[in-house]
Structures are given as structure tokens and as C-alpha cells.
Amino acid sequence: MARRARPLIALLTDFGYRDHYVGAMKGLIANVAPNAQLVDVTHGVPPQSIVAGALALRESWRHFPAATIFLGVVDPGVGTARKPIAIATRSGARFVGPDNGLLALAAEQAGIRNVVELRSRRYRAAEVSSTFHGRDIFAPAAAWLARGIRIDLLGPRLEEIQRLELPAPKVSRGEIRGEVLYVDGFGNLISNITRAQVANFRSAFPSHALFVRLERGAALEIVNTYADADGPLATFGSFELLEVALRNGDASRHFHVSTGARVTVRARPVRDARRG
């Protein structure tokens, strides 16, 4: 007889690695579901950055086993009227966390099947802190799901969740104008401009060269890998989004910019390419 796989809980937070917060959550999970495996997606999400956490979760969830429970806590509204929720999806993945957009991008990709509000007192800590729902509400819910309870036992059904609307690039003749959405740990500046958008733009200007500008910086050529340039460059990374990077360096520090910085793709006739 094949052995049943141990339940898997994947954690993503902005708690960092200095304090005890993640350890406390893991300790509570171990008490409720001692057989569960715990995997850290990351605890280095920039503090209070729901967008960064949502993007990290979106880029991670599909690489885990189908029945993984994702416990996400980036929760600047902890203790307010925002709801604590759990989501079941058609893919089999389940998501637990605050209803503030953090879970939305990944859950929508996975196919939302059912959403509940975490209201049952039976499946939370006896005492709930107004500032640490990660330990007192979300971790117990994830642990009980790992124990095998039905998601509907955690609380009443909700008809919808808080969506996360990412800014869309603006495309005009001769230009795509986007912005930096995410800065990773290497300082790479990841924009909201997709590979498909750039490919369509390139096909509209077959006799032109494409260049990328970051704010008022110099024009950068789009290359295939970091090794294809000696300094600043533009490329498509694992997000399949256009990013500005610095070979063997930190582009965010080099350019003195962060999220929200303007990123522009422009087309220039080949004869004018040197002018950027």
C-alpha cells in the first residue's frame, strides 16, 4: 500500500528573520498538525507590501504539490475590519490569510472554488491578539486544514474576495510606458511590462530597434541574459516581465529608484538607434 503523503504548508510573510514571529506560528502549527511539513516560501517580503507578497505568491504556488496549503501573512490592516479568509481552488491548492489582495493573484490563477471567513472559535487560538492574527487565526486554520477538516467548518462562505488590481502599462505609438512593481533581493527592478506586450510592440515596428529607459537614465538594450551586458541591462526574468538589472550589482541602488519608478520601452529607426 502506498504511503499517504504528509500534508504540506508553505509560509510567506513580511515578518523577516530577526524576530520570533515565524517561529511562533510554526510552533502552533506543530501542536495542531504535528505531521505537517512546513516550507518557507519567504519571510523577506518588504514590510506591509501587499503587492510584493502577492507577486511572490503568484510566482511560487504552481511549483508546489497540488494539495499544498499556502499560509500568507502580509497584513498592514491586522485588527481592522478586513476579513481573515481561507480559499479552496480547483487546482487543489488552498490559501489562508488576510482578505486584502495578498492571496488574490495566486488564487485566481489556481481557480477559486470556495471562500470562507475564518470565524469559528474552535479553529483558532483561545486568545486572539489584535496584532498577531498570523499566529492566532491564520496558523491554526492552516494547521486544521492539514489535519483534514473541511474548509467550510472554518466559517461562513463568502461570495467574493478583495481583488488586487496591478497597474497596467500604457501603450501608444512608438512607446510602452510601465512602472517598477517589485524589487527582488538582488536589486533587480521588475516592471509590469510583459514579454508578450514587447513582442507585439516589436512586430509593429519591424525595422526599428527597441530600447528601455528607467526614469531619466540611459537607453538600455534588451538582452537575453545578465551575462550579455557589462553593466546596466534590460531583460526578461523568471516573472516573464521586463526588468532592469545591473550585471553583478544592485540596479535599485545604482539608479536610486524603487517601486513606482517609470520604465519605458521605445522604438527607434535602426539608423537612429545610437541616439536611444
d(CA 57, CA 100): 14
Q: Which helix (H) or strand (E) holds 111?
A: none
Q: How many CA atoms lie within 13 A of 167 on its CB side?
A: 17
Name the grid cell of 263.
Answer: 520604465
Q: Would you say 69 and 182 are in contact if contact means Cβ atoms under 8 Å apart?
A: no
Choice among 129-138, 188-197, 210-219, 241-250 with the minimum mean pLDDT: 210-219
pLDDT at 102 over 70: yes
Q: What pLDDT is stored for residue 109 in this prediction?
A: 97
Q: Each residue of 41-91: pLDDT tens digit? A: 999 999 999 999 999 999 999 999 999 999 999 999 998 999 999 999 999
d(CA 58, CA 68): 14
Q: Each residue of 182-219: pLDDT tens digit? A: 999 999 999 999 999 999 998 888 878 899 999 878 88
Write the CB contacts of 256 (distance below 8 Å, at least 6 apart in sequence): none
Average pLDDT in the chain? 94
What's the distance, CA 129 to chain centroid?
A: 26
d(CA 54, CA 195): 20
pLDDT (mean) for 213-238: 91
d(CA 276, CA 274): 5
pLDDT at 126 over 90: yes
CA quadruple 252, 256, 260, 261: dihedral sign: negative
Write the CB contacts of 9 (distance below 8 Å, at least 6 apart in sequence): 29, 33, 36, 37, 38, 39, 68, 69, 70, 71, 142, 143, 146
- DSSP β-bridge partners for residue 236: 242
**Domains of the chain, earliest start first:** 8-158 (3.40.50.10790), 170-275 (2.40.30.90)
pLDDT at 151 over 90: yes
Could you tell me the pTM of the whole model? 0.92
**Residue found by looking up cell 500534508 in the block:** 7
